[in-house]
Chain A
Amino acid sequence: MENNSNFETRKPPVATTGILGWCRQHLFSNWVNSFITLLVIYFLYQLIPWFLDWSVFSADFWTNYKGELIVDRTFCSRVADPEGDHGACWAIIIVRFYQFMYGFYPPEQVWRVNLTYFLLVIALLPLLIEKIPGRKHLIKFTIAFPIVAFILLYGGFGFQIIPTNKWGGLLVTLVLGVFGIAIAFPLGILLALGRRSQLPVISMFCTLFIEFIRGVPLITLLFFGMVMLPLFLPEGLNLDGLVRVLVAVTLFQAAYMAEVIRGGLQAIPRGQYEAAQSVGLSYWQMNRKIILPQAIRISIPSIVNTSIGLFKDTTLVIIIGLLDLLGIGRGALADATWMGLSNEVYVFVALVFFIFTFSMSRYSLYLEKKLKTGINMGAD
């Protein structure tokens, strides 16, 4: 024991666990990293308090700094008191909240929109949660949902008819997004199957269609729907503006969807086709029961990503004069009573879109993880 004292005791190694160790490893591993970390912290220290102050602490919500209820821009603290240190004026969102959500939908009928939103959630449940009880029956409802939603929103069957030019705000955004995806999905499957078809004419038609749509910007297709479609149709057949836009958006989305599903189809091993044929299934039986369930399953993450793209692209309809969420915001800014509050409006619209698209992308990531660990593709 005593000869231990002859050795110099070494210092214990630098901790790599615990908070300190973690900081050392991830923030201060060498002097360059330490410098960067300090720089980033400094910027965050400047930015975050400023933003919080602007958006919350010195911002107006219902009332301004004098405690008056805000009814137009002149009441906003930063307009009424330009010398003072005032932040955002969210009153524009609060006062116009109804418009942002429903557009000019008659208030006494708005329960129909709310009911549709509620039904949308129910229709989405069986798609999002695989182990929900009674999934088979719920799926039937999901398939019927677009028709139910159309009757509820538009009218007919005893409901008062609300023309689509009264719709606006988040309602239009969601209608374009949900209907666009719901119609484009089966269309995309057909196009993908068509492109891979053995029949040269059908394959050529589908390929040409897909490549054409993917080669031009969505805005030209929207113009096509707005200005050219009326010329193509016989007189008297005047399609509703929203429907024309929906046609353009759906065709656009279907082409992209088709490519994603084609990727899934290509990943299905040949043996699956051969096995299905050898048990005597016809082309449609084989695709419906064997090929498509597997192909769609593996392409779901990409399908969700394409859908996110479509959901963001619905904002393009403001260029041809439809009032979606962004359009309502622009309308509010063009109004003299609320002019000059563009930052508030755009931040709000961005936030709404972010909530939808971010949750969609999280969902797609979750699916991707589940697929990686779950099924075992291509066992042969």
Chain B
Amino acid sequence: MQNNLFQDQKFRGILYQTLVVGFFALGLYFVINTTAYNLEKRNIATGFSFLNNPAGFDISFSPFLDFKSTDTHLKVYFVGVLNTLLVSFCGCIAATILGFIVGIIRLSSNWLLSRIAYIYVEFTRNTPLLLQIILWYAILIQLPRIKQAPQIWETFYISNRGLFGPKPIFLDGSNIVILSLVLGFIISFFIARWAKKRQDTTGQQFPTFTTNLSIIVFLPLVVFFIMGSPITLEYPVLKGFNFKGGAVIRPEFIAMFLALSIYTAAFISETVRSGILSVTKGQREASGALGLKKNWIMRLIIIPQALRVIVPPLTSQYLNLTKNSSLGIAVGYADLVHGFGGISLNQTGQAIECMAITMATYLLISLTISFFMNIYNRSIQFKEK
């Protein structure tokens, strides 16, 4: 009977699963017990109350929130998340643009040009990202000192302490200008929708691009002058050893941004290339036979079909870039891992809480990106009837 029962597939399945759950629970119990013991012995506090304690250290780069060393660890966390998102967002956009350009260049009929793109892709893909970040940083801090900083029209200064430039000052009435910019975007969105609908039904074309561009540019510009120029620029002025006023982009950010976007662009260019190659030759020939112009063929026929192949790997490249932004710790970019998972952790000693929050945040960011990219992916897939 025993033997028969063991040969029963259902019974065996249940047995294995119970065993797995049992071992897991046992292991968890053991780990929790030893951890509690270890924490008590090392006098490490538990719980999340440390988040409200003052951090006691400065963060050099915090473009969105004003951070002082008396602020709490919770604020360190928010500064870190914002910095992570900032560099990931900028990196994703730059990597996409560069990746598409390089991907198309690699398919260029010009042999020399496609070879150059190939060399770029192979070199960046085959060296560690961390090395590239450190190398960019090393190059950036070899730039001239602030006193000898080369300038462009006395507005931008390039130095080893970062890129200095004018900072916009928002006076009264600037809200209306920004509002008009947003309004411009909304109007152009509806114009685009209307133009597409009209073309679908009647076949008449509408110069959507130029119309929308002029709406987005001129509407805020007109409002800007009507309101009496409420936005002015504050230029950096050299005073002593540093610049006073103006805005600065730190070399840590520039190094991270350059390295992340150049590295990821190499991978994106490969997916773009394979996506374009996946569109069969007949599509190109058929659209040529219909008399479409060369760049129209690319825009209307090739790219929309290639996107179906490109978007899923593109999503994972975005995820990789976001996760790789955690390497900012190597050059002191105050992202989530460096600020909260690094300095806060060392100051409070509450490794478990800090790491758990950091990991959970990355998981959340990853899930959010894949959620939105999945929606986009569904919108460009074949609509089968």
Report A's interface with B, CB cutoff 8 A: 26-27, 29, 33, 36-37, 40-41, 198-202, 205, 212, 214-220, 223-224, 227-228, 230-235, 308, 312-316, 318-319, 326, 330, 342-343, 346, 349-350, 353-354, 357-358, 361
Contact = CB atoms under 8 A, between A and B. Distances in A.
A232 B366 CA distance: 27
Contact of B355 (A205, A228, A313, A349): A228
The residue in B24, B37, B355, B367 that gathers the most chain A C-beta atoms within 10 A of its C-beta is B355
A358 B119 CA distance: 12
| Chain B residues touching A, majority SS | helix
Interface in B80-126: 109-113, 116, 122-123, 125-126
B62 interface: no
B34 A216 contact: no
The residue in A36, A315, A357 that gathers the most chain B C-beta atoms within 10 A of its C-beta is A315
B113 A36 contact: yes
Contacts of B126: 308, 312, 353-354, 357-358, 361
Contact of A232 (B20, B34, B116): B34
Contacts of A230: 38
A357 B35 CA distance: 40
B369 to A, nearest CB: 10
B131 interface: yes
Contacts of A361: 122, 125-126
B109 A228 contact: no
A318 B130 contact: yes
A322 B27 CA distance: 29
Bin chain B's interface residue count.
35 or more
Contacts, number: 143
B38 A235 contact: yes
Contacts of B31: 232
Interface in B261-290: none
Nearest to B137: A342
15 contacts: A26-B109, A33-B110, A36-B113, A40-B116, A202-B17, A220-B359, A220-B362, A223-B351, A224-B359, A227-B345, A232-B35, A308-B126, A318-B130, A350-B131, A358-B126
A37 B112 contact: yes
B17 A353 contact: no
A42 to B, nearest CB: 11
B326 interface: yes
Contacts of A316: 130, 327
A205 to B, nearest CB: 7
A201 B17 contact: yes
Contacts of B362: 215-217, 220
B127 A354 contact: yes
Interface string B343-366: 001000001100100110011001
B122 to A, nearest CB: 7
